[in-house]
Amino acid sequence: MEIEGISDEGSDGMTRRSVLAAGAMTATLSATPSLEAKPLPKSDAPQLTKVNLNVNGKRQTLSLDPRTTLLDTLREHLHLTGTKKGCDHGQCGACTVIVEGRRINSCLTLAVMHDGDAVTTIEGLGTPDDLHPMQKAFVAHDGYQCGYCTPGQICSAVAVLEEIKAGVPSHVSDDLLDIAYSDDEVRERMSGNICRCAAYPNIVAAIRDVAGENKA
């Protein structure tokens, strides 16, 4: 049998099958990408930036990658692990600290942005031997369960009472010129601090106690 001049078993040893096999091999080799390793582009080490922070009343001088968040600075560089990393997207409030008297989500801000600022974490509010009134109230009213969100809850609660005292309005304030304590004000202002254990009624009771609004 002969097809296009190539026999199944030609006298020269070349068969139709060997021609097809050789063609397939050539196509495969030409399509195979080069396996030669290419060197990775060199990346320069980040230039460190000097940052001065006043953390819980103590001056701290650090050399940081400018991309380091305030949260990672507190936890990884200063070993203040009371401040928790929850969502790391500013949605849960577990990382709340007080900076220059205002509460912020420390996961959403860079440490270099707070050079010279005073930062208060849960460790700076009180100690086991000398609890802050808000810490005492959380214990008395069972304002925590697993406790993971509690440091952020307490820091936020302390700042909330200062906001109300300073007359800073919220979305639920009836009179923008006369800001008074109410449970609704607390719930609105604390809405950014998530408690997955749902201890919200006890948290509100603890804040109410510290505010001096001892209502049932």
pLDDT recorded at residue 32 = 54
Interatomic CA distance for residues 116 and 118, integer angstroms: 7
pLDDT tens digits for 44-66?
778 999 999 999 999 999 999 99
pLDDT recorded at residue 83 = 98
Listed residue (215, 140, 142, 141) closest to 182, CA to CA: 215
Q: What does the CA dihedral 13, 19, 20, 23 come to, rounded to 10 degrees?
A: 140
Q: How far is CA 79 from CA 12, 70, 74, 108, 163, in A?
A: 81, 12, 6, 19, 29
pLDDT tens digits for 94-120?
999 999 999 999 999 999 999 999 999
Q: Are 161 and 207 in contact (CB under 8 A)?
A: yes
pLDDT tens digits for 140-183?
999 999 999 999 999 999 999 999 999 999 999 999 999 999 99
- 215: pLDDT confidence band, cut at 50, 70 and 90? low
pLDDT at 191 over 90: yes
- 29: pLDDT confidence band, cut at 50, 70 and 90? low
pLDDT recorded at residue 216 = 43
Interatomic CA distance for residues 174 and 170, integer angstroms: 9
Count CB atoms within 10 A of the CB of residue 211: 20
pLDDT recorded at residue 4 = 54
**CA quadruple 202, 205, 210, 214: dihedral positive or negative?**
negative
Backbone angles phi, psi at 177, to 5 degrees: -100, -5
What average pLDDT does range 117-136 have in this prediction?
96
Strand bridging mode 118-120 / 49-55: parallel
pLDDT tens digits for 151-163?
999 999 999 999 9
What average pLDDT does range 1-24 have in this prediction?
62
> pTM value?
0.78
% the chain with pLDDT above 70: 86
Residues 6 or more apart in contact with residue 173 via CB below 8 angstroms: 179, 185
For residue 83 the two structure tokens come to: 């401040």
pLDDT tens digits for 61-94?
999 999 999 999 999 999 999 999 999 999 999 9
Interatomic CA distance for residues 90 and 87, integer angstroms: 7
Q: Are 71 and 170 in contact (CB under 8 A)?
A: no
